[in-house]
């Protein structure tokens, strides 16, 4: 799987990505905005197990964001199940030194098109923490609509937060 985007290429993770994965992912400033599933510190073992998980998936839903074929971030579609199988939750992160260059915005454009055109999805949604301005901006730039604020819907590092629910619907 390979998706050419304006500012990056999305492709499957492979075992040789582990060093660049860990180098970019092992960052508190990323982990504080992610699910607890994304660990901090992010160890070599975490990197290996993530690559193993993604390669065992039936569909190509969790992709590396690459620049010159170096994996510098990740973007994924977590597919819904049962009657929600037409929906997916999108997740993404990027190595901090690459922030602010439009890379994730272009990655989202690519994976959203893939989700609608190739995976048969009707709806893609995201739930950034309410205060995660960069993530919300990336969604808004990709025409995701704010559906509401999910008050006190999650807990991170012992603090309770609101999440902002965004979604885009297939045209
Ligand atoms: C969210 C994240 C993926 C964005 O990646 P990125 O490649 O820097 O995003 P882009 O450059 O495409 O767009 C970022 C936008 O947010 C804006 N932005 C960034 N920080 C901001 C801030 N503190 N206040 C206001 N706007 C901000 C940028 O100006 C840019 O908007 P613009 O193009 O209109 O100027 C990256 O910051 C990251 O990995 N964060 C930690 C993990 C995370 O939050 N993941 C999402 C979980 S829901």
**Dist. CA 64–CA 162, nearest whole Å:** 28
How much is the mean pLDDT over the chain? 98
Judge whether 141 lies within some domain.
no
Percent of the chain past pLDDT 90, that is, above it, reads 99
Judge whether 150 lies within some domain.
no
Task: Indicate if the alpha-carbon torsion angle 128, 2, 48, 53 is positive or negative.
Answer: positive
Judge whether 157 lies within some domain.
no
Predicted confidence at residue 135, as pLDDT, reads: 98
Give the rounded distance of the alpha carbon of 120 from its chain centre: 19
Strand partners, 118: none
Atom 44 in ligand 1: residue holding the nearest Cα: 33
Judge whether 164 lies within some domain.
no
CA of residue 25 to ligand 1 center, whole Å: 16
Judge whether 163 lies within some domain.
no
Task: Indicate if the alpha-carbon torsion angle 59, 87, 3, 15 is positive or negative.
Answer: negative
41-97 residue pLDDT tens: 999 999 999 999 999 998 999 999 999 999 999 999 999 999 999 999 999 999 999
Judge whether 43 lies within some domain.
yes
Number of domains forming the structure of the chain: 1
Structural contact between residues 70 and 98, judged by C-beta atoms closer than 8 angstroms? no
12-42 residue pLDDT tens: 999 999 999 999 999 999 999 999 999 999 9
Residues at CB less than 6 angstroms from ligand 1:
30, 33-34, 92-94, 99-105, 126, 128, 132-135, 137-138
Pocket test for ligand 1, best of 8, 66, 100, 142 (most atoms within 8 A of CB): 100
CATH number at residue 46: 3.40.630.30
Which residue matches tokens 């045209």?
Answer: 171
Judge whether 159 lies within some domain.
no
Domain that holds residue 13: 2-122
């Amino acid at each position: 799987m390979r998706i050419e985007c304006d500012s990056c290429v999305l492709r499957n993770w492979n075992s040789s990505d582990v060093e660049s994965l860990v180098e970019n992912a092992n960052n508190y400033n990323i982990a504080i905005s992610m699910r607890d599933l994304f660990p901090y510190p992010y160890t070599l073992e975490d990197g290996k197990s993530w690559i193993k998980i993604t390669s065992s998936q039936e569909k190509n839903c969790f992709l590396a964001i690459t620049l010159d074929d170096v994996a510098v971030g990740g973007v994924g579609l977590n597919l819904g199940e049962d009657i929600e199988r037409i929906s997916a939750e999108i997740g993404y992160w990027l190595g901090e030194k690459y922030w602010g260059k439009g890379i994730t915005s272009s990655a989202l454009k690519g994976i959203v098109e893939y989700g609608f055109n190739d995976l048969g999805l009707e709806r893609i949604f995201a739930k950034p923490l309410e205060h995660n301005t960069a993530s919300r901006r990336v969604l808004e730039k990709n025409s995701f609509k704010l559906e509401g604020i999910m008050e006190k819907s999650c807990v991170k590092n012992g603090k309770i937060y609101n999440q902002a629910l965004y979604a885009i619907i297939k045209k």
